[in-house]
Amino acid sequence: MATQTFLYCSLLAITIFYVSSSAAHHKNLTIKLIHRDSPHSPLYNPHHTVSDRLNAAFLRSISRSRQFTTKTDLQSSLIANGGEYFMTISIGTPPSKVLAIADTGSDLTWIQCKPCQQCYKQNTPLFDKKKSSTYKTASCDSKACHALSETEGGCDESGNTCKYRYSYGDESFSKGDVATETISIDSSDGSPVSFPGTIFGCGYNNGGTFEETGSGIIGLGGGPLSLVSQLGSSIGKKFSYCLSHTASTENGTSVINLGTNSIPSTPSKDSAVLTTPLVEKTPNTYYFLTLEAITVGKTKLPYTAGDGLNGGKSSKATGNIIIDSGTTLTLLESGFYDDFGAAVEESVTGAKRVSDPQGILSHCFRAGGKALGLPEITMHFTDADVKLSPMNAFVKVSEDMVCLSMIPTTEVPIYGNMAQMDFLVGYDLEKKTVSFQSMDCSGNF
């Protein structure tokens, strides 16, 4: 146990650099995602305090957790504004800039299109498909159309046009045509890197709780229609991200990397590369890992999976937790959490247990006259023992109070972004693995 200082760190940012790869046809891109509470975000409110932003992020974590259902109709319970990051891309020829929510829990990218039958208010111009020379609707018998579930897809037989329809858990919705377009990403020198024939949804009937700053959703999930999956061969089926604890400040930087050289491969003298299997489960949109145990200080607790993912079985079932960069908190199965919370409480020194004034976080501590001591927490994934720093596992909610940034859930367990900060987290979709390498994400890109 050691005395620790804290940075406000739950909110981040992600722009794009292009580096040519020695591997033929492979591209390496580094993209900045703009966290919704970053000073660079169009949603940034300078009048909000750190506590205001933290509490809002925690509430979004709880709402977002309800999207991760194992039902086949995976879109039915999505929360429209559940994502934490914005991402800028260009679409069409000539290109039009689009700012949209980057969502690792969604597949099909969709944006509002002109002419709209019904659209929510958007600050930027709607995409006009008639002005693009590369826009093309997908046919009803196309692979893209067949990739949609029965509840998501449809067909306009008169025009042989594939249709999509997404209904979200907060009664938001998007409907429109499935189409292909050229999507471009700006490089560091300002020149775009283009990906022709990318599948997306051109939405002409959209509404609900979507915010005016965003044009739609950019899908970064594991299904075949996500942007990551579609770029698969050109990026070597590999991507990673490095989320900085300091990204809520003006100078903080977090990045997502696409390409063959993006994932951690060579251990440094200070940091090993830890690799765990990526478990294939339904729906394939989500990234499932297996959490076997958690160690608090010197106490190792076997992790048991509950109803959220394994139908009530308490066992070392594979794929018992989803890793998600769009959820701030880590949510652990409620039955396991009782023993886990007790072990944390027993291991904290120099503080007394208090209640979270907002009623969101379960274990909070107020420092007394002595130095605050926090336990080391290790997440034991299959073949990967990931040691968390106090800033990964705890959050400073006021000048003299810290709280455990992990809460119980009866829904699907989620490994959230606070636990992933200052790790290079790499996804190898070909080898079906996720890797972790500890590093200072604010100074490596």
Across the range 1-17, mean pLDDT stands at 34
Look at 362 and 313; give whichever has higher pLDDT: 362
Count of helices and strands (H, E) across the chain:
7, 33
Active-site residue, selected from the candidate residues 186, 324, 422, 428? 324
How long, in residues, is the chain?
445
Cα–Cα distance for residue pair 420/330, rounded to 1 Å: 10
The residues, ordered by sequence, that sit 6+ positions from 49 with a Cβ below 8 Å of its Cβ are none
CATH number 2.40.70.10 given to 11-256: yes
Set 37, 103, 186, 422: catalytic member = 103
Q: What is the pTM of this model?
A: 0.81
b/e 345-356 (16+ beta carbons within 10 angstroms → b): bebbbebeeeeb
Q: Are 227 and 195 in contact (CB under 8 A)?
A: no
Domain boundaries, the chain: 11-256, 264-438
pLDDT digits (tens, 9 = 90+) for 158-213: 999 999 998 876 678 999 999 999 998 765 455 678 999 999 999 999 998 787 87
8 A C-beta contact, residue 243 and residue 12? yes
Q: Taking 70 as the threshold, does the pLDDT of residue 381 lie above it?
A: yes
Residue 56: count of CB within 10 angstroms of its CB: 17
Confidence of residue 313 (pLDDT cuts 50, 70, 90): very low
What CATH number belongs to 264-438? 2.40.70.10
Binned at pLDDT 50, 70 and 90, residue 218 comes out as: confident
103 catalytically annotated: yes
For the chain, the 3-state helix, strand and coil shares in percent, each to the nearest 5, are 15, 35, 50
